[in-house]
Amino acid sequence: MADSDSSRLAEIENSGKHEAERYGVVTGANKGIGFEIVRQLASNGVTVVLTARNKVRGNEATAKLHQLGLSNVVFHQLNVLDQASVESLADFLSQKFGRLDILVNNAGASGAIVDEDELKALGIDSTAWLSGKVAKMVQSVMKYTYEEAEVCLNTNYCGVQIVTETLLPLLQLSSSGARIVNVSSLRSELKKVRKRPMKWYIMPSQLHNGKLQILSRVPGESIRNELGDIENLTEEKLDGILQIFLKDFKDNALEANGWSLMLPAYSMSKVVLNAYTRILARKYPNMCINCVHPGYVNTDLNWHTGVITTEEGARGPVKCALIPDVGPTGCYFDQTEVAEF
């Protein structure tokens, strides 16, 4: 990590000053990491709009936070794939607050149909989930359909686009410069060697010369280079890459063409989400826009195979949401530290 990033992060760690009034939105927040992000933001004095597709569950989650003394949390129903629903949220924010300071895009889908009982019966150790053998091990309990792949990509990437683009006019009214946080995943990483291996997933088969090898999520140097070419990256290029992926998915050619076989749609959705984050950061230099891998958190999304709590997992997204003006932008955070894409 560059010295400038280190100094910026030091300022973030030491910063205890918060504005009197800040307004935030967290998507997919009725449970799991999203719920905990809302709790931690509200505990830091942010007025938070907790959103969820299901009104009953959203209201129940909000009531729980009110019982904890966090009266600065309000609920608004949101379906990230429904433009009318997103516009309804924008109208609510405009009328009630007049601006938006923080947007945390957390809503997500796994892209897989899983028999959870059979998955549990396999007894796969959490450290094995990133090994090359896991995809084969779970073939009997995980089903990937084209329909589920589309839902996953639409929710994890297109939904973020819809929400972000619709709320940008309100974010641009933030007096302190808005913060946009896209909750990503370790499965989005493009690099082959991880400099800071985490003890919870190191497998002997993954080590080469003492360094941890990450399985490639994207086939071909040309596509990887295109995703890494920040200055020339566009949303149109991302759409083109997704079309290639979906064609290979429909043609049952993922393995033949080198795509990830473990949660393929989920992995790709997070790869393009990271790229979209960099595009946004370039377009809006006055905002702090970052993506963050929260850690391998125990949630419904990974069928409770994770090894850290939602409280721990929320710390990275919350840190990005509360980054002061000197904070980094266009970066990928591995939990609470800036890491390589």
Q: How far apart, in whole angstroms, are the C-alpha atoms of residue 73 and residue 1?
A: 36
DSSP string for 278-328: HHHHHH-TTSEEEEEE--SB-SGGGTT---B-HHHHHHHHHHHHT--TTS-
- For 12-67, the pLDDT digits (tens) are 444 444 445 999 999 999 999 999 999 999 999 999 999 999 999 999 999 999 99
**Please, which residues bridge with residue 75 across strands?**
50
- For 97-110, the pLDDT digits (tens) are 999 999 999 999 99
Q: Any idea what the CATH number is for the domain that residue 288 is in?
A: 3.40.50.720
- Please confirm, yes or no, whether 284 is among the known catalytic residues: no
- Environment class of residue 296 by beta-carbon count within 10 Å: exposed (0-12), middle (13-18) or buried (19+)? buried
The lowest-confidence range among 226-235, 255-264, 269-278, 299-308 is 299-308
Q: Which domain holds residue 265?
A: 3-339
Catalytic residue among 266, 276, 284, 332: 266
Contact 300, 179 (CB under 8 A): no
- For 226-258, the pLDDT digits (tens) are 887 878 889 999 999 999 999 999 999 998 988
> Could you give the number of structural domains in the chain?
1
Contact 252, 136 (CB under 8 A): no
